[in-house]
Amino acid sequence: MQLPSTMQAIQVEGDHLVLRPAPMPVCGTGAVLIRVHAAGVNRADLLQRRGKYPPPADASPVLGMEVAGEVVAVGAQADRWKLGDRVCALLGGGGYATYAVAPAAHCLPVPQGYGWAQAAALPEAIITVYANLFDQTGLKAGDCVLIHGGASGIGTAAIQMLKLTGVDSIVTVGRDEKMQACRDLGARAVINYNTQDFVEAVRAETGGQGVQAVLDMVGGDYVNRNLACLGKGGLHVSIATQRGRVAEVDIGLVMRGQLILTGSTLRARGRVEKARLVALVERDIWPDIIKKHYKPLISNVFDINQADEAHKMMESSAHIGKIILEVG
């Protein structure tokens, strides 16, 4: 196949996202070139466009951390994939474009029957949830996890993934209209944090025992309140700081509860570490995706020319599930 010498990619121009001609990305050793058909929108993209979340040094500066598309070139040592394969991929950047390069080991096969938008909704949310709640956390069937942002891309993935392993979730949302969607995905209880105190609600729901883990994307003053939701030996996992990076914590709660506080950011993990997580996700989660026991919840699909509108929707937090850009 003759590849074009240039492509189209979203550029940040002032307050706008605009599709412009851009150089073709180079497919190096261990990588594949993907003709992008759909790209996932992630909260971090909103930060990156404002210069607050720079991509890793070796990644494209173009927005976009996940795509689905077909393989159109294969680099040396990337022979798991062949031309025409349908893949979805985790990227350091470069997803809002007509072509993107991904390490071969960060790609997963698009399950049969999946459209491009559905496939693009998978990598970032599933790998993040796996890394923070499945990988060496000790969570087991019968446990219960508190998830903030229950209707977010991450939250809607976490509810389903936990349920498939017999772990319950209690989730928070900011609007009543998000509650039923979370219940439908399998959440045991849903709390509107604007009308209920989530600490009281979690203690009541668990008969005073607390949950075994909290997946926190809020930070700030939530952290100490989250600790009050944890049972003995509970795990607090931070993945974002939407209400602030600094938290005042009652160390007494940590000591009495023998709590563990940790956190991570997927994008900053090295290539080998990401490849390890992708391989574990393919082993442990992909079989459920193939059998359609897990279904990505998609809120809206926008044309790539409407990337601005897609970002406005995410900014408003009105969405339930993933927002996707369709790329031709």
Residues of this chain that bind ligand NAP (CB under 6 A): 42-44, 124, 128, 148-149, 151-154, 173-175, 178, 193, 217-218, 239-240, 242-243, 264-266, 314, 317
Q: How far apart are CB 152 and ligand NAP at their closest, in Å?
A: 3
Listed in sequence order, the residues at least 6 apart from 142 whose beta carbon sits closer than 8 Å to its beta carbon are 166, 167, 168
Q: Is the dihedral of CA 253, 259, 264, 270 positive or negative?
A: positive
With contact defined as beta carbons under 8 Å apart, do 150 and 173 qualify?
Answer: yes
Tell me which DSSP letter residue 36 carries.
E
Q: Is the CB of 241 or the CB of 306 nearer to ligand NAP?
A: 241
Listed in sequence order, the residues at least 6 apart from 14 whose beta carbon sits closer than 8 Å to its beta carbon are none
With contact defined as beta carbons under 8 Å apart, do 44 and 128 qualify?
Answer: no
Q: Is the CB of 73 or the CB of 146 nearer to ligand NAP?
A: 146
Structure tokens at 108: 């997963």
Q: How far apart are CB 30 and ligand NAP at their closest, in Å?
A: 23
Grouping H, G, I as helix, E, B as strand and the rest as coil, residue 280 is: helix
Taking residue 50's Cβ as centre, other Cβ atoms within 10 Å add up to 9
Residue with tokens 């909704």: 121
Q: Is the CB of 111 or the CB of 150 nearer to ligand NAP?
A: 150
Residues 14, 19: Cα–Cα separation, whole Å: 13
Q: How far is CA 296 from CA 52, 86, 130, 210, 233, in A?
A: 28, 17, 15, 28, 31
Q: How far apart are CB 29 and ligand NAP at their closest, in Å?
A: 26
Q: Is the CB of 36 or the CB of 41 nearer to ligand NAP?
A: 41
Q: Is the CB of 37 or the CB of 148 nearer to ligand NAP?
A: 148
DSSP-derived pairing of the beta strands 322-326 and 107-109: unpaired
**Rounded CA Rg of the chain:** 20
Q: How far apart are CB 13 and ligand NAP at their closest, in Å?
A: 23
Q: Is the CB of 35 or the CB of 225 nearer to ligand NAP?
A: 225
Q: How far apart are CB 176 and ligand NAP at their closest, in Å?
A: 10
Q: Is the CB of 8 or the CB of 42 nearer to ligand NAP?
A: 42
Q: Is the CB of 175 or the CB of 203 nearer to ligand NAP?
A: 175
Residues 154, 271: Cα–Cα separation, whole Å: 21
Q: How far apart are CB 318 and ligand NAP at their closest, in Å?
A: 8
Q: How far apart are CB 84 and ligand NAP at their closest, in Å?
A: 30
Q: How far apart are CB 4 and ligand NAP at their closest, in Å?
A: 31
